[in-house]
Structures are given as structure tokens and as C-alpha cells.
Chain A
Amino acid sequence: MNRPPRWDEIERLYHQALELPVGQRDILLARAHPTLREQVESLLAADCKAELLAVPPTHIVADLLDAEGGGLTPGQRVADYAIESLVSVGGMGEVYLARDQEGRPVALKILRRHLTMSAQAVNRFETEARAASALCHPNIVAVYQSGEFPAGLFIAMEWVDGSTFRAIMTAGQVEITDAMNWGGQAARAVAAAHEAGILHRDMKPENIMLRKDGVVKILDFGLARDGGARGPEASSMGGSGTISGTLSGTLLYMSPEILRGESATTASDVFSLGTIVYELVARQHPFAGETRLDVFEAIECRPVAPIASLRNGVPQEVDRLILAMLDRRPEGRPSAAEVWELLRRS
């Protein structure tokens, strides 16, 4: 009886199960042979996160055929800004260094032209502009203006002359006092956003920058939504506008409740921040794993090693604080304001 299930058996049971309400599927599946059941269950699980193929390939075709990586050329004008150089290209579009009329540098984020055909992408872009402009804080990148120009949508933002936390960690070891200072500044920004009812939802080292003068700036409120308005899409981790957001988003900074598909709360941001601070201080990621499944399991249930076991010189209360931020129960975590308070004093 250990032959692999036949494809037509899998197909039949899969469609039978789909016709049933979710709660009743288990009863149907329980009657099937274990190997068949396993096959169908994994397919049904995949069906739930069917973001795959949701974005028309139009966008990809356009992107791939677009001869220039960045569509805008130096000197070209976008509203009142003159393009200077291409800074980066991401899934959603490009970021340029540009100058305003007084010659001051601004970061100009462009939603790729072809992506303006996708209502979802436009919505996300506009949400980012709105959320960030609602926040006025020294540790959050300021949004000056957003709007439309012939080739797409743009957001003009504060230019940050510095590096992302990711680049800093890649470049070498971070001093413990620096890590605490930067973590504290980031916590302060997150606390301010939470105070304003806004969640970040996508905190990761790529989204936090250190300016050359030592000021931390949080950017990319692309997934941010008002704290009160939580849709079913809260669990969709995609921020990329690519074929399959679910497949491509990094799991490494997601809280266990987000991985389970629950709504994000302020505590979810604290967890993500805790992961980042842990990585800065301990010099290794608390949930590192070979595969996505390993990472998933690590976040769900692997014990987090106290930082003292990895690096000397970390104050005990800071070690405790970071572990508390990584508490699997959201209610067990400190608030961002408490994190900021403690790191400031340490």
C-alpha cells in the first residue's frame, strides 16, 4: 500500500476538498491514504497563498524589454526636480538622486511606468507616500511631495547620505555601544509611528539607514497601513510587485504571528526590530536557516541564544530586553517606547 498516489487521485480529492468549507475538509482527507492525503494537503495549503500568477506578466515583459534599467536620464525633470543619477532599482521601481530648484539633494522614488497599470502597486505606492508624510520625526525619512508625471508616479523624499544597516553589517563588526545607540534611535522612530497609529510592517536592515553623521533614518513605509485598518492582505508579505510576493519576501524579520497569517500589531514591529538589533549586536541572525522552512521553524519554535553566549560585553539588561522583544507571544514584548527608554539609558 506504499505506492505513491496516482495523479488523478490527487486531482479528484483536491477538487472535492475545495468544494467543502475549510472546516469540513479534514474529515474528507482523514479517510484518504496518508501519502495521498499529504499530497492534497500540501496543494491545498499552497492554494491559500495563491498570489502566484496574480500579477499579469505585462509588467514583467515591459520590465524585461525596457532597455534602460532606469528609465530617466540625468538632467530630465520630474515635477520641480532634476534627475542627477540612478541610485537603486527595486521590484517596485527606481530611486534617483535628484536636485530641487534650490539645488538641494532629494531622493526621488519612481513607480515604474508599467506598474502604474496595476491598481495594487499604485495603491501601495500611494499608501507609502501618505503614511510617511503623516509622520514628522527626525528618525523617519521625510516625504516632501508626491505626484504624477508623464512617465509614472513619484515620491520626493529626504536624501539620506549614508548606508543601510544591511550594508553596515555586511561591511564588518558593529560596536556594541553603536548597535545600542542605533537600535534606540530606530525604536524611537517606531514608537513615534505607533503613537500616530501607523505600523511599519516591513522592518528589515535594508529599510533602515545610518546617515554619515550618525542619525538613524527609517524608510520604506511601503507596507505601512493605519494601525486600525487591517485587511486580510495584512499577511501578504510581498512588497515587490513581482510575480509572487509571497514567495519572494524575506521571512527573516517576520514575527511568528505574521507567519501564521494573523494581523500585524505594534508588537509585530517590535519583534522585527528586535531581530535587527539582535543581528547588530550578536553579529548573527537569531533565526538564520538554510531554507525558508528552516527559518520558518526557527521563528516558530527555536530557542533564541542569549547574546552573552555569543559576544562579551553586552549589558545584561540589554540582552534581556532584546530577548523580550523576540518573545513569541506578542503580549510578552515591550513597546517600542519602552525599548527606546531602556536603550537610551544603557
Chain B
Amino acid sequence: MAENPQGEVTRLLAEWGSGDQNALNKMMPLVYAELHRIARRAWSHSPHNNTLQPTALINEAYLKLANAQTAPFQDRCHFFAVAAKAMRQIMVNHAKSRLAGKRGFGLANISLDDVNPVIHQEAAEIVALHEALEALHAVDPRKSQVVEMRYFGGLSVDETAEAMGVSVATVNRDWRLARSWLIREMNCESP
């Protein structure tokens, strides 16, 4: 399976398109691994280019994994939905490992800034957002998916609408309410 992720993903996309929900579960690890690899490479080779835009990463993973020339357009949308989910997992996993102290900085002489309150802040917020999104999912799955695609997947409103098969107006409204809801949720939890 790992020998040819491209053929695998193309096949799984087709299966998913024809209603097989299991295909999604099988596709996730492949997409995750590819995105992770691309992100690492992009960052270590050229730290100040724009390839770390999630959409750019996802596009590259799509070109790599799916048979982009022949795949139906709908497959591309489906792929983006999966990839946004994978991006979310990548970020949350990294944030969690950072919070767990796997990335200690070993600072001997801290004098210009107090490190501890901020050092884990970004990571903590990613995790808090992730948890708030899960709570939102329980209330309104579509809105949580809109946030996942827009925020973690970096998709535009139009792309999100396309991928989800809803109108642009719906995405806009969902996005706004979801954002308010998440802010309220996160404010209550973090003193």
C-alpha cells in the first residue's frame, strides 16, 4: 500500500465519491504523511517562501497523491476536505508534543523576556481551538467543518463552498457564527 500512495489515493477518492465512508479512514494516514513530508521539506529548504500556505501544501499533496489530470473535479474537492482534516491533525499533534515538553529549549540565561507564559501559548491555543471545534461539531457539524476547511485547510470561501456543496452565503454565515461561538467557548475555558 505504501509503495504506491498515488494509485491508492486515486482509488480511495473514487470509492469515497461513490459513497464508501470507509475509504475516508483509509485515505487519512496517506494524506497526513504526505502533507507532513511536504511541510517539513518546504520549511527546511526555503524558510521564507510562501509554500507553507496550507492551500499550497494541500495542492502539492494533491498533485502528488491523486491522479490530478484525469480525476473528476469533485474528487479534488473531496481531497481538499480530507487534507484540511489532516492539516488539523498535524498541527494539533505538533502542538501537543510541544506542550508535552518534547521541544525543550534548554535556556540557561533567561533575562529579556519571561519565556514560560508565551512559549507554549501558540501550541496551547491550537489545542484549545481544536477542542472547541470538537464541541462545536457536537452542536453543528457543518459549521465545524467550515472552520476546519477555512482555517486549517486555508481554503477560500468559494473553495469551501464548492468542496462542501453549499452556497457561498452559507459558508459566510457559518463562518461568522462559528467564530463567535468558538471565541465564547475558548474565553470561558481559559482564564
A interface, CB within 8 angstroms of B: 7, 11, 14-15, 18, 42-47, 49-50, 52-53, 56-58, 60-67, 69-71, 85-91, 95, 97, 107, 113-114, 116-117, 150-152, 160-164, 166-167, 206, 209, 219-220, 240, 242-244, 246-248, 250, 289-295
Which stretch, B61-69, B74-82, B159-167, B175-183, touches the partner chain A? B175-183
Chain A residue numbers with a CB within 8 Å of B176 are 18, 47
CA distance A90 to B47 in the complex (A): 19
Given A90-B118, A113-B47, A242-B121, A43 contacting B181 (CB threshold 8 A): yes
Q: Which of B1-9, B17-25, B26-34, B90-98 touches A?
A: B90-98
A213–chain B nearest beta-carbon distance, Å: 14
Residue pair B180, A69 in contact (C-beta under 8 Å)? no
Say which size band chain B's interface belongs to.
Answer: 35 or more
Q: Is the CB of A90 within 8 A of B113?
A: yes
Nearest Cβ distance between residue B41 and chain A, in whole angstroms?
A: 10
Say whether B70 faces chain A, with CB atoms less than 8 Å apart: no
> Which one of A53, A57, A116, A294 has the highest number of Cβ atoms from chain B below 10 Å of its Cβ?
A57
- B122 an interface residue at 8 Å Cβ cutoff? yes
Besides A88-B113, A113-B48, A161-B111, 19 other A-B contacts (C-beta < 8 A): A43-B180, A45-B184, A46-B184, A50-B179, A52-B186, A56-B53, A56-B154, A57-B152, A57-B154, A61-B54, A62-B43, A64-B94, A151-B47, A164-B111, A243-B129, A244-B186, A247-B183, A248-B121, A293-B191
Does residue B139 face the partner (Cβ distance < 8 Å to A)? yes
Measured between beta carbons, the chain A residues less than 8 angstroms from B186 are: 52, 244, 247
Does B15 reach chain A (CB closer than 8 Å)? no
In the complex, are the beta carbons of B122 and A243 less than 8 A apart? yes
CB contacts (< 8 Å) of A52 on chain B: these are: 129, 179, 182-183, 186
B39 interface hit (Cβ, 8 Å) = yes
Choose one: A15, A114, A291; the contact of B52 (CB below 8 Å). Answer: A114
A209–B184 CB distance below 8 A: no
Q: Are B114 and A152 closer than 8 Å at their CB atoms?
A: no
B119: which A residues are within 8 A, CB to CB? 89-90
In the bound complex, CA of A65 to CA of B109 (Å): 25
User: CA separation between A289 and B187, bound complex, in Å?
Assistant: 15
Q: Could you give, for residues 31-47 of chain B, a 1 whenever the CB lies within 8 Å of some chain A CB and a 0 otherwise? A: 00000000110011001
A290 to chain B: which residues have CB within 8 Å? 191
Q: Can you list 10 A-B contacts with CB-CB less than 8 angstroms, sorted by A residue number?
A: A53-B147, A64-B91, A65-B43, A86-B107, A87-B109, A88-B115, A90-B115, A90-B118, A114-B52, A247-B183
